[in-house]
Structure 1
Amino acid sequence: MRVVAEIPVSEQGSVHEQGWQSWSPSTRYGLTEQPHRWVDAPQRVVSYRSENSAGRDVFWGEGLLAVDPGDGAAVTLIAAVSPTRSVPSIRAVVRGSVVEVAADGDVEVRVEQSTVDTAFARWADSVADKLELTAPRPAPTTWCSWYQYFTEVAESDVDRNLQLMDSLDLPIDVVQIDDGYQAAIGDWLIPSGRFPDVAGMFARIRDHGRRAGIWTAPFLVSENSRLFAHHPQWLVRDTSGVPVSAGRNWDQQLYALDTTHPGAREHLRTVFITFAAWGIDFHKIDFTYAAALPGVRHEDVTPIEAYRMGLLLIREAIGDAYLLGCGAPLLPSIGLVDAMRVSPDIAATWASYNGDASMPGQFGATLNGVSRAFQHGRFWVNDPDCILARPGIERREDWARHVSRFGGLRGSSDGVDQLDDWGLETTRRLLSEPVPRYFVES
């Protein structure tokens, strides 16, 4: 790493980290605070930049970090020069009354007489101008099956909620079926037993006058999938030829699809063209970090180039459909998605089950949603994750306030029949509220 700045600070100084992907903790820290890091080793691959070796003794941003001296002096922002092509790791170490910042790639150092949020927003404006980005399309309102039914969702659950949406006249544009319709992670066109007629399900959604949405983790391949059994040559591998781990979830090992391999690319193209033929025009693509994992690929490209190749392929296959990224490397996604999850998953509880701020919980989701508010309206529409308003959701009033303040994409994920009067009224209000163009002005 090369030292790029030495910044005098007061005792009230702070460092603002921006993490690698949607779920990576991003927030402000006082100079003596320990930053949030992974708790369990497998989560390091799933929620953090896998090659990042930072511990709690240093501050660490992926392509973006800021230092506020805390005494009214100018804020210093260190950022990737070409964030869609290269995302350097940026390290900040407190040495007495100075914060020493180093980076392992090309960065620019910007000095702004402003708040940190405004400095981030001005930098984002400069990136959007350089890349000639147009204003992101407004997001539709959605209903998602995940947080009520998880992987056990069935066609009957979707049908029941469609009827209730109609009878209650809920302002929901898109009904998005989440994980559970498919046989395995990677086998997107093979239905699970609970969805004997997937195409028919989407047709019924459209018959109700709503748009059809679907969830995939397009760059993941699970060890129990047919894709893994039949096409192991489509996986990213290490230098010894062993498939690279993309982490562990669903009680199984996961691997990364090589988005440069002709066979894998044709597979992806077939999946998303089929979805388009089914009338699906809203896509949530999840766990997309897998395409950017380091490893050996069919083509000799960088991990970020491979990631963007995969996203571009999907973008071309779905045409004008709305594209929501999740579990996604943020800076490499600029210009390729309509909306972006900027936080870890929400949960029924405030804290995550193991204290890792990247794991499902309202604490981590709120943390990131506030810190990444500057991205909304510049790079994409910010998705803070779904509205959860049914009884039994811990601190549901606080979560509703967060969605109202920082929710660009507004989506409900309660079973409609599970909502009490407060939950129904709150859901209706949050789905109906106008969303401002920016959450942070520059």
Structure 2
Amino acid sequence: MFYRHGQNSWSPCGWRRLAEPPLRIADPRRRVTADDDTWDDPARHHSSAVAAIDAGDGNVLLLGALGLGTPRLSADRDTIAGWYEHGAQPWFAAYGPEDEVFAAYARQLADRLGSRTRRAGNVWCSWYAYYETITEQQLAKDVDDLRGLPFDVVQVDDGWERLVGDWQPNHKFPSGMRALADRITDAGMTPGLWLAPFIALPGSQLAQRYPSLLLRDARGEPVVAGHNWGGGYHALDLSLPATRDFLAELTQRVVHEWGFRYLKLDFVNAGAVPGVRAGGGEREQSYRDALALIREVAGDDVYLLGSGAILLPSLGILDGLRSGPDVAPMWQNYASDDPSDAMARNAVVNTLHRLWHQPLAEVDPDVVYFRSRLNLLTDQQLAWLRDLADICRFRAVSDPPSWLSPTELEDMAGYLSARPEIRRLGRYRYTVDGREADFTAAISPAAQAYPIS
């Protein structure tokens, strides 16, 4: 068995038999968005930053990078090979029980690159209720409904901005973002905001007026860093002083002028895509330097969550790391076998294989559900999501209180107020306050089918 660690939050992560095809994203358009396409290999098992081979006797052989420079690994039969795309940095190798060698590797990473211990608390997020259709009026009602419930953060997600790259409120938020942040604060919660600071859509004013800020390829064309919002989006060249000025001004405005103290930084992997960086520098180092700038301007007391985050260059800077693709109110989409696609099973599988990140930063498994409205998840699937969020100690919900029945509202409040004791029994088995939570069936392909009757 080979352990593949995905390059960023959405990249596939898990164990795969060496005799089987490698765990990867087959669709090239999706692979550009959710993985490091440069080192994709359809034939050989490959990994980012760290890899392991299960010896079959309870022990694993682990090889992990301890520095930046875009470390990659591959495996063939009983051999792991590791290299850096740029430069030479040290490696960590260990053989022993799985939990012990991964814990030892995490300690080495913390010593060399840093760690964060700040906790987000319970988060309410707008995304899985409204997606991009959020409005100031609707959020004002939801904030009022959230008063008195055990939430610490209200995070406004995508849909508030004029266009990705142009970070000013659109017509749906006529009172402005400061007024919304104040409303959340007055309700006793921390205001949070979604940003994608390292990318811009081609039609944005940023891309149109300041094309020099866009990362270029060897032909001088803007790099397409991924696909969303109906087309491709561009990465910013984070090595440029002008781009750093843009990021500093954006962070200053959002945090210190508007008052948001929790930032969800999305699509940040675009900051490390291949390209010709005008200011020079290695791509992971440029990514890390840009995150460090955001941290410096925001301040140490602002919670920074990375989605699409790359593990090693995020350490010591980001408080939380999304651990898988977006969840969804469905277990599996039968039109897709993409392991990075938005569905609950993919979120669970990837998070289970990234729990060893916990000493380094909070592991964000994405939201849990309590609503029956617009929800196709079974009771077992809902329980897996909730137990996993408890294991991560990162609990987020997107259900508006007005969508919940009295029983669902009571269940949500009780869940968010509990502080269960967690124990690890094995790779996929835990106890939550003494009750066993076994995720083995969630990992098994046989668990993907919905019951017929």
- Is the Cα–Cα contact under 8 Å of residues 272 and 317 in structure 1 kept in the other structure? yes
Residues 430 and 259 from structure 1, CA distance in 2 versus in 1: closer, same or farther, beyond 3 angstroms? farther
Q: Which residue in the other structure is 2:321 paired with?
A: 340
Q: Tell me the distance in 2 between the aligned counterparts of 1:102 and 1:250.
A: 38
Residue 355 (1) aligns with residue 337 (2): yes
- Is the Cα–Cα contact under 8 Å of residues 4 and 23 in structure 2 kept in the other structure? no
Deviation, 1:37, is 1.9
Of residues 243, 250, 254 in structure 2, which corresponds to 1:264?
243
Q: Which residue in the other structure is 1:401 paired with?
A: 384
Letter in 1 for 2:405: D
Q: Tell me the distance in 2 between the aligned counterparts of 1:117 and 1:229.
A: 50
**Aligned 1:72-111 pairs, distance under 5 A:** 72=58, 74-82=59-67, 85-94=68-77, 99-105=78-84, 106=89, 108=91, 110-111=93-94
Residues 23 and 422 from structure 1, CA distance in 2 versus in 1: closer, same or farther, beyond 3 angstroms? farther
Q: Which residue in the other structure is 1:67 paired with?
A: 53
Worse-matched range after superposition: 301-310 or 198-207: 198-207
CA root-mean-square deviation: 2.1
Of residues 49, 53, 66 in structure 1, which corresponds to 2:40?
53
Deviation, 1:126, is 2.1
User: What is the count of residue pairs matched by the alignment?
Assistant: 415
1:15-49 CA distance string (max 9 Å, x none): 11111000111111123333332132211111111
Residue 33 (1) aligns with residue 20 (2): yes
Of residues 397, 414, 419 in structure 1, which corresponds to 2:404?
419
Residues 249 and 363 from structure 1, CA distance in 2 versus in 1: closer, same or farther, beyond 3 angstroms? same
Deviation, 1:414, is 1.3
Q: Which residue in the other structure is 2:451 paired with?
A: none
1:1-28 CA distance string (max 9 Å, x none): xxxxxxxxxxxxx111111000111111
SS in 2 for 1:89: strand
TM-score by length of 2: 0.87
Deviant stretches of 4+, over 6 Å: 435-441
TM-score by length of 1: 0.89
Residues 402 and 86 from structure 1, CA distance in 2 versus in 1: closer, same or farther, beyond 3 angstroms? same
**Aligned 1:8-407 pairs, distance under 5 A:** 14-55=1-42, 57-72=43-58, 74-82=59-67, 85-94=68-77, 99-105=78-84, 106=89, 108=91, 110-114=93-97, 116-131=98-113, 133=115, 136-166=117-147, 169-189=148-168, 191-197=169-175, 198-276=177-255, 277-319=257-299, 320-352=301-333, 353-376=335-358, 378-391=359-372, 392-395=375-378, 397-405=380-388, 406-407=391-392
SS in 2 for 1:117: helix
Residues 224 and 440 from structure 1, CA distance in 2 versus in 1: closer, same or farther, beyond 3 angstroms? farther
- Is the Cα–Cα contact under 8 Å of residues 407 and 435 in structure 1 kept in the other structure? no
Worse-matched range after superposition: 392-401 or 267-276: 392-401
SS in 2 for 1:389: coil
Residues 440 and 153 from structure 1, CA distance in 2 versus in 1: closer, same or farther, beyond 3 angstroms? farther
Residues 20 and 437 from structure 1, CA distance in 2 versus in 1: closer, same or farther, beyond 3 angstroms? farther
Of residues 386, 411, 416 in structure 2, which corresponds to 1:431?
416
1:226-251 CA distance string (max 9 Å, x none): 11110110011011110111111100
Q: Tell me the distance in 1 between the aligned counterparts of 2:23 and 2:411.
A: 32
What is the percent sequence identity of the aligned residues? Answer: 33
- Is the Cα–Cα contact under 8 Å of residues 347 and 362 in structure 1 kept in the other structure? yes
Q: Tell me the distance in 1 between the aligned counterparts of 2:108 and 2:221.
A: 41
SS in 1 for 2:269: helix
SS in 2 for 1:374: helix
- Is the Cα–Cα contact under 8 Å of residues 331 and 381 in structure 2 kept in the other structure? no
Residues 257 and 440 from structure 1, CA distance in 2 versus in 1: closer, same or farther, beyond 3 angstroms? farther
Listed as ranges, the gaps of 5+ residues in structure 2 are: 427-453
1:401-441 CA distance string (max 9 Å, x none): 33333333211111221123453234223322337799799
Listed as ranges, the gaps of 5+ residues in structure 1 are: 1-13
Letter in 1 for 2:298: I
- Is the Cα–Cα contact under 8 Å of residues 200 and 235 in structure 2 kept in the other structure? yes
